[in-house]
Amino acid sequence: MKNGGMKKTASSSSPTNDSISRRALFKGATAGLLTGGLGGCSGKVSVSGILGEPSSGAKRGVRKGRINQSVVSWCFADHWSVHETCEQAVKLGCKSVELIATEHWPELKKHGLTCAIATLPVDGPPFIKGYNNPEYHDMLLEVTKKTIDDSADFGCPNVIAFTGYAEKFSPEEGAKNCVEGFKKVAGYAEKKGVTVCLEMLNTRDDSDPNKGHPGYQGDHIDYCMDILNAVGSPRVKLLFDVYHVQIMDGDVIRRIRQCGDMIGHVHTAGNPGRGELDDTQEINYPPIMEALLEIKYKGFVGQEFIPTRDPEQGLAEAVELCDV
């Protein structure tokens, strides 16, 4: 069987084994209720608690470490300082805090962390003015090369990039302009050993500017991959944001396999809502992480969800879920 790779045998479905399994589950559930006590119970019993959620004293976070995990700084800025974000990352076994201004990189270094992908120091949201508009090329080349220099010195492997909003450009014109722009920076990125990662963003969710980007031109994986293939550089790759891909294209695992080594960075979030990676959303993250391992992806997975409850708990759950 594909789920877990276990083959079902005749004995596994026998009445005796079924009854033993039911007794074992009931025994575990009863023990959990007795241990937790009934006096403070609100009438709800957590299934995750019955089935083995870590106790309050257990160490949370990475155990297997086959996926390199990162904390996306902006998501937690309303809850933690940079120092506190670094502390949370270290506590959970993450190796990076990303999309954070270079002025904070010394704080990362103090905690033994890297920055998995660098943001661009531009005025306003960086995804609006992109390579699809030649008027922005000189500005983008200047700030991108500066960020590449900083990244090479610090050991940051990636710098983010965007198509920009469509404005007056047709999809064909926008793609052509993007190819021309990325070709101008590709050689410099190759020389410095830093990868420029083009992010695909969804245009469907108009509920919040942090959840969707109506008007963004690179809103489909195939469109972005066509641009990257035309550029043809090993240092210009795709930022595969699972949340955005799920909304616009779906078929996430097949697309991971198709993109293969053109994936330079990965982001997560729950859909709908860009919240936690819990059972209130539809994306099944463990098999997606397995697909990344299948294609021998060695980069980072950045946790980029917007907390709707205790951020420490939500981040710990996300990190553990992706630690396959």
* Rounded Cα–Cα distance for residues 275 and 145 (Å): 33
Q: Which of 98, 276, 304, 320 is catalytic?
A: 304
Cβ–Cβ under 8 Å, residues 174 and 184:
no
Q: Which of 199, 276, 317, 320 is catalytic?
A: 199
* Rounded Cα–Cα distance for residues 314 and 75 (Å): 12
- Taking Cα atoms as reference points, which of 319, 233, 303, 232 lies closest to residue 266? 303
Catalytic residue status for 98:
no
For residue 1, give every residue at least 6 positions away whose Cβ sits within 8 Å of its Cβ, in sequence order, or none. Answer: 7, 8
Cβ–Cβ under 8 Å, residues 240 and 301:
no
Written as six digits, the tokens of 202 are 């969804």
Catalytic residue status for 84:
no
Beta-carbon count within 10 A of 81 CB: 12
- What are the residue numbers of the active site? 199, 304
